[in-house]
Structure 1
Amino acid sequence: MPAEGVTIRRGFPPGERDRAARVYWEAFGGKLSRVMGPDARALEFLRAGLRPDHCFSALDGQGRVIGLAGFKTPQGSFSAGTRADLRRIYGRIGAVWRLALLRLLIDEIDNRRFLIDGIAVTEHARSRGIGAALLAELCAEARRRGYEAVRLEVIETNTRARALYEREGFVATRTERMGLLRYAFGFRAATTMIRPL
Structure 2
Amino acid sequence: MIHYQHGLPEHLRPQAVALYWHAFGGKLGTVMGPAPKALHFLTRVLRANHAIVALDDAGNLLGMAGFKTAAGSFAGGEIADIRHVYGSFGAAWRLPLLWMLSDDEQAHFLLDGICVAPAARGLGIGSALMTAIEAEARARGYASVRLDVIDSNWRAKALYQRLGYRVAKIQNLGMLRHAFGFRAAITMVKML
Unaligned runs of 5+ in 2: none
The TM-score with structure 2 as length reference comes to 0.97
Cα deviation for residue 88 of structure 1 reads 2.1
Q: Secondary structure at the match of 1:104?
A: helix
CA distance in 2, matches of 1:115, 1:152: 6
Cα deviation for residue 52 of structure 1 reads 1.1
1:114 aligns with 2:120: no
CA contact (8 A) 1:175 1:189 kept: yes
CA contact (8 A) 1:73 1:109 kept: no
CA distance in 1, matches of 2:71, 2:80: 18
CA deviation string 1:92-149 (max 9, x = no partner): 1011111111111011132x21111111111111111000010000000111111111
Match of 2:39 in 1: 43
Q: Secondary structure at the match of 2:76?
A: coil
1:128 to 107, 113, 123: 123
Match of 1:30 in 2: 26
1:67 aligns with 2:63: yes
CA contact (8 A) 1:74 1:109 kept: no
Residue identity over aligned pairs, in percent, reads 51
CA distance in 1, matches of 2:170, 2:96: 22
CA deviation string 1:169-193 (max 9, x = no partner): 1011221100111011000001111
Return the letter of the residue paired with 1:36. M
CA deviation string 1:3-58 (max 9, x = no partner): xx211110111101111111111100000000011111101100100001111011
Match of 2:83 in 1: 87
Give the 5 Å matches for 1:3-18. 5-18=1-14
Match of 2:134 in 1: 139
In angstroms, what is the RMSD of aligned CA positions? 1.0
2:53 to 50, 57, 60: 57
CA distance in 1, matches of 2:6, 2:180: 30
CA distance in 2, matches of 1:183, 1:150: 29
Cα deviation for residue 85 of structure 1 reads 2.1
How many pairs were matched up?
192
Structure 1 stretches of 4+ moved >3 Å: none
CA distance in 2, matches of 1:162, 1:119: 12
